[in-house]
Amino acid sequence: MTETNKTHHIIYGCMGLGGSWDDSPLEKENIEEARKAIHAALDCGINTFDHADIYNVGKAELAFGEILKENPGLREMIKIQSKAGISLGTAGGFNTYHSSKEYFIRQIDKSLKNLQTDYLDTFLIHRPDPLMDVEEIAETFDYLKSEGLVKRFGVSNMSTSHIQLLQYYCDMPITANQIQFSLKHAALIEEGLTYNITKFSQNGVGDFLPFSKLHNIEIQAWGALDNGLYLNDNDLEETKAVKRLLEKLAEKYDTNPAAILVAWILRLPYNIKPVIGSTKPQRIQRCAEAAKVNLSREDWYLLYVTARADSLP
């Protein structure tokens, strides 16, 4: 994979754009922050931008839409995806899930208006809804595709069985699953390595890597930097060995610790796209440096076993 292709395997997550998670209006400084972050990502070769209808109560999409309005030619150079399915504060102040056809069409229409675009490159169902009617989902996808509102479809935080069920009823392929994965949250690979060993718990997520390979499903790794666990200053004993190793490897590969964390994910032989979400241009650039890093097998395993603080079975 070339360096350019690797940057295309990084997704910019827009959850931090637009200010705060409240009903306050979008401010000029929010738009300026979004402008700097988006152009920093583009300058690094990142061209896929991830949204959700709920991010900062819609203001993330609004801020992004202002940047598209300023740059009409930008739309055809990038890929935009958004998610829907989480309904904020609808059950006594608690969030619920909603996956009806009417709801999805309404939320996507709102997202398109906020983003100031005519279509989404990808739409993801944000969370598995226990009340989800898969035949209704199939009708919804058919409608969105036929109307030219969405080009491709995926899910977020769903198991292999959820995807298989959806795929059975839907004519359009499920092309992506956005799921938590990182050096610290490595269940996708951990369960495969500890399969059938009594002392390790199994919840089935370990099946997803081979499943995704067989069905050509893109894995979008949210939480790729563990919310800065190994990058920020802290006194946690569990982070010290990993932080020391990251510094050592950053020097070895002539880069920075954030790039090493992203490169660790990209090193896996699957279609995995880390999602990075900083609004700071310098941090975006640091993550994008992962494109030039090709971790050796030895260094990949050294990071993994150091983070799990245990030898492999």
Tell whether the model's pLDDT for residue 179 goes beyond 60.
yes
Question: Residue 58 pLDDT > 70, yes or no?
Answer: yes
Q: What is the mean pLDDT of residues 130-159?
A: 97
pTM for this predicted structure: 0.95
Q: Return the CATH number of the domain spanning residue range 3-308.
A: 3.20.20.100
pLDDT of 153 over the 70 cut = yes
For the chain, give the mean pLDDT: 94
- What band does 199 get if pLDDT is binned at 50, 70 and 90? low
- pLDDT value, residue 3: 58
- For every residue of the chain, DSSP letters joined together read --HHHHHHT-EEEGGGTTS-SSSPPP-HHHHHHHHHHHHHHHHTT--EEE--TTGGGGHHHHHHHHHHHH-GGGGGGSEEEEEE-EEEEEETTEEEE---HHHHHHHHHHHHHHHT-S-EEEEEE-S--TT--HHHHHHHHHHHHHTTSEEEEEEES--HHHHHHHHHH-SS-EEEEEEE-SSSS-HHHHHHHTTT-TTS---SGGGHHHHHHHTTPEEEEETTTGGGTTTS----HHHHHHHHHHHHHHHHTTS-HHHHHHHHHHTSSS-EEEEE----HHHHHHHHGGGG----HHHHHHHHHHHHTS---
Q: Are strands 272-276 and 150-156 parallel, antiparallel or unpaired?
A: unpaired
pLDDT band at 200 (very low <50, low <70, confident <90, very high): low
Report the alpha-carbon distance of residue 209 to residue 221 in Å, rounded: 12
Q: According to the model, what pLDDT value does residue 68 have?
A: 97
Is the pLDDT reported for residue 270 higher than 60? Answer: yes
Q: Give the start-to-end residue ranges of the domains of the chain.
A: 3-308
